[in-house]
Structure 1
Amino acid sequence: MRVTIADVARQAGVSKTTVSRVLNSGAEVEAGTAARVHEVIAGLGYVPSSGAVGLARGSSRVIGMLTPSLTWPWMGEVLQGVADTVERAGYGLLLFTCDRSADSIGRFTAQVSARAFDGLLVVAPEGTLVTLSALHRRGLPVVLIDDRGHRPGFPSVAITNRAGGASAARHLRALGRSRPLVIAGRREFGCVRERLEGFGEVLRPECVVAGEFTEDTGRTGVERALAEGRAFDCVFAHNDLIAAGALAALRAAGRTVPDDVAVVGFDDIPMARHTEPPLTTVRQPMRRMGETAAGLLLAALAGEVIPSEPVVLPTELVVRRSAPTA
């Protein structure tokens, strides 16, 4: 059940206008009263809507965005798509970062109660979906960017991970490659399972190594396969950082790319054009993901009904010299 500003006012023994003034930095509210209102807000888990804040000064015209880290390789493109879209609509953007710790998540939820933004865009930090779902149920409009195979129960933007994996496999098969090494992310992510399934529907992997989405995982994955005597003539890496690590390990082992081993990545981050050789990869439409998610949230704020099922954007194979067309 959604907690309303009226519930806060009733329990605090003040008017709704007083609660709204407290939400707007406590202007013209006695300090003891403001402290009592904040205590009730925290106790009830109240999330202020733009309408509640509007009792004092109208809609905030601000959208919040929560991300796990600004260092993710594709985060800049997603953020640019978001910023362009919300700014065209006359909204500001308030950015939060949050790691996976309970303290960090707690600080963010406290900020939600204290700040006046109209809706939230999220690239979900690990372990926060339960919290985000609770915020959504309490009335905060939320849109998830890159659902990683989760189905959060509120609007989200996804990509065709399964089709992307299949396109990588079809390309490698067309090159005459038949013994793939797959270096994946962690299998608890739905996107990892979907990419594996799509690839396996076309080309059966000789070996699958799972790890983090890092260059180190790519290096150690290739080193492990070589140490175990695995015979592979191609690598499908679940992101471009893994692929870059794989390229480095193959070079160190004296294997040439693409003659001995063809390599395909996933994402098409800017680095993919500058590896040696330049990387064939499955492109995620990163800027479009941000634009689409922001558009969904703006539509919800305008009173439109938007789907709870993911909006799915297509991936695209980009061919470069690490696995060139024959």
Structure 2
Amino acid sequence: MRVTMADVAREAGVSKTTVSRVINTKGEVDAETAARVREVISQLGYVPSSGAVGLARGSSRTVGMLVPSLTWPWMGELLQGVVDTVEAADYGLLLFTCNRGAESVERFTTQVSARAFDGLVVVEPENTLDHLTALHRGGLPIVLIDDRGHHPEFPSVVTTNHEGGASAARHLRDAGRTRPLVITGPQHFGCVRDRLAGFLSVLPTDLVVRGDFTEPCGRLAVEQLLASGVEFDSVFAHNDISAAGVLRALRAAGRTVPGDIAVVGFDDIPMAEHTEPPLTTVRQPTRQMGEAAARMLLSHLGGTPVPDAPLVLPTELVVRHSAP
């Protein structure tokens, strides 16, 4: 059975208030009583609730992180950047996802109400923006990742999705490709809109397939277009997973890469250099974005004003054999 504060108070012959004061080093407790309470805590193996300690001290020394899903291929790198930074500052991390819709938001709101964390890092905020805005205005420090400065009321760390799309287009154009196919991600993500706009600003095309960032999406898009007789000489997929589906479909159809069709992805996840052929892609600095967002939030919690403008970390084109 779990040892409670009441058990400690009874064994030490003091009130629960006195035990709380000893744990949180608040209020006046004479040295002899404090020593007795600490001895009982040690004997009983009592572990104070971190939430209760945080409430008493005015800080939980915990950071929250809200993400759409943990299944995104680059999420692990971004999360590692956040974890490394907050742990180095002696903070903990509470992780929340939005993949269960209203149920996830309700669970997250409960933790906010309980003051379970001091500030929040958020990835792709669209579906929770109204809720986050209310929390931010109510005093909860929030830093957005990958927001591209679309919501200036929040401090943010962004990457150059528009320029990333444009760099993919320039690379294909300079290689002599004139008939590109673009396979996007879900349209409600701002990064998708930016990548598409950047690409089309350099290499316009009417071949745009609305995708969902999955391997089957990339594969089926290519299969269907080839079956219908539509010709294209290059593909820009909005992430590496859908680009892998493109490569699979082209290989099955007997089309050579890059001889017949060049392929460019986006993200540069570890898989990208192991596809057949290795994938040319636009690298996102995901770990660095996580580190920078966590540092920004911790600095804000420490009293440093947040910057007025988004912190921009650039993308980089990584050239491999699928589009040399």
TM-score bin (small chain):
0.7 to 0.9
Structure 1 segment 38-53 matched on structure 2, within 5 A:
none
Stretches of structure 2 lacking an aligned partner (at least 5 in a row) = 1-16, 25-51
Partner of 2:279: 279
Is the radius of gyration larger for structure 1 or structure 2? 2
Could you tell me how far apart the structure 2 residues matched to 1:189 and 1:169 are? Answer: 20
Alignment CA distance shift 1:319-1:65 (3 Å) = same
How far is the alpha carbon of 1:115 from its aligned partner? 3.9
Partner of 2:301: 301
Could you tell me how far apart the structure 1 residues matched to 2:140 and 2:246 are? Answer: 43
Q: Give the residue type in structure 2 aligned to 1:60.
A: S
> 1:230-251: per-residue Cα shift (whole Å, max 9, x none)?
2211000001011011111111
Alignment partner of 1:90 is 2:90: yes
Alignment CA distance shift 1:288-1:121 (3 Å) = same
Stretches of structure 1 lacking an aligned partner (at least 5 in a row) = 1-16, 25-51
Structure 1 segment 1-326 matched on structure 2, within 5 A:
56-124=56-124, 127-147=127-147, 150-151=150-151, 153-324=153-324
How far is the alpha carbon of 1:69 from its aligned partner? 2.0
Normalised TM-score (structure 2) = 0.80
> 1:124-155: per-residue Cα shift (whole Å, max 9, x none)?
46511111111111111011112267426211
Please report the RMSD computed on the Cα atoms of aligned residues, expressed in angstroms: 2.4
Alignment CA distance shift 1:206-1:229 (3 Å) = farther
The size of the alignment, in residue pairs, is 278
> Does the CA-based 8 Å contact 1:99-1:125 persist in structure 2?
no
Say which SS state the counterpart of residue 166 (structure 2) adopts: helix
Alignment CA distance shift 1:135-1:222 (3 Å) = same
Say which SS state the counterpart of residue 121 (structure 2) adopts: strand
How far is the alpha carbon of 1:320 from its aligned partner? 0.6
> Does the CA-based 8 Å contact 1:67-1:98 persist in structure 2?
yes
> 1:142-171: per-residue Cα shift (whole Å, max 9, x none)?
111122674262112211111101110111
Say which SS state the counterpart of residue 264 (structure 2) adopts: strand
Say which SS state the counterpart of residue 121 (structure 1) adopts: strand
> Does the CA-based 8 Å contact 1:133-1:152 persist in structure 2?
no
Could you tell me how far apart the structure 2 residues matched to 1:62 and 1:187 are? Answer: 33
> Does the CA-based 8 Å contact 1:164-1:317 persist in structure 2?
yes
Say which SS state the counterpart of residue 60 (structure 1) adopts: coil
> Does the CA-based 8 Å contact 1:129-1:152 persist in structure 2?
no
Partner of 2:27: none
> Does the CA-based 8 Å contact 2:160-2:314 persist in structure 1?
yes
Say which SS state the counterpart of residue 120 (structure 1) adopts: strand
Q: Give the residue type in structure 2 aligned to 1:177.
A: R
Alignment CA distance shift 1:154-1:100 (3 Å) = farther
Alignment CA distance shift 1:54-1:60 (3 Å) = closer
Normalised TM-score (structure 1) = 0.79
Partner of 2:13: none
How far is the alpha carbon of 1:186 from its aligned partner? 2.4
Could you tell me how far apart the structure 2 residues matched to 1:188 and 1:127 are? Answer: 9
Alignment CA distance shift 1:316-1:234 (3 Å) = same
Could you tell me how far apart the structure 1 residues matched to 2:276 and 2:236 are? Answer: 16
Q: Give the residue type in structure 2 aligned to 1:178.
A: T
How far is the alpha carbon of 1:318 from its aligned partner? 0.3
Could you tell me how far apart the structure 1 residues matched to 2:265 and 2:59 are? Answer: 44
Could you tell me how far apart the structure 1 residues matched to 2:187 and 2:246 are? Answer: 19
Say which SS state the counterpart of residue 127 (structure 2) adopts: coil
Identify the range of structure 1 (232-241 vs 69-78) with the bigger mean alpha-carbon deviation: 69-78
Q: Give the residue type in structure 2 aligned to 1:202.
A: V
Could you tell me how far apart the structure 2 residues matched to 1:240 and 1:277 are? Answer: 13
> Does the CA-based 8 Å contact 1:100-1:127 persist in structure 2?
no
Q: Give the residue type in structure 2 aligned to 1:99.
A: N
How far is the alpha carbon of 1:211 from its aligned partner? 1.6
Could you tell me how far apart the structure 2 residues matched to 1:283 and 1:158 are? Answer: 13
Q: Give the residue type in structure 2 aligned to 1:174.
A: D
How far is the alpha carbon of 1:281 from its aligned partner? 0.1
Alignment CA distance shift 1:321-1:149 (3 Å) = farther
How far is the alpha carbon of 1:210 from its aligned partner? 0.7
Could you tell me how far apart the structure 2 residues matched to 1:110 and 1:152 are? Answer: 26
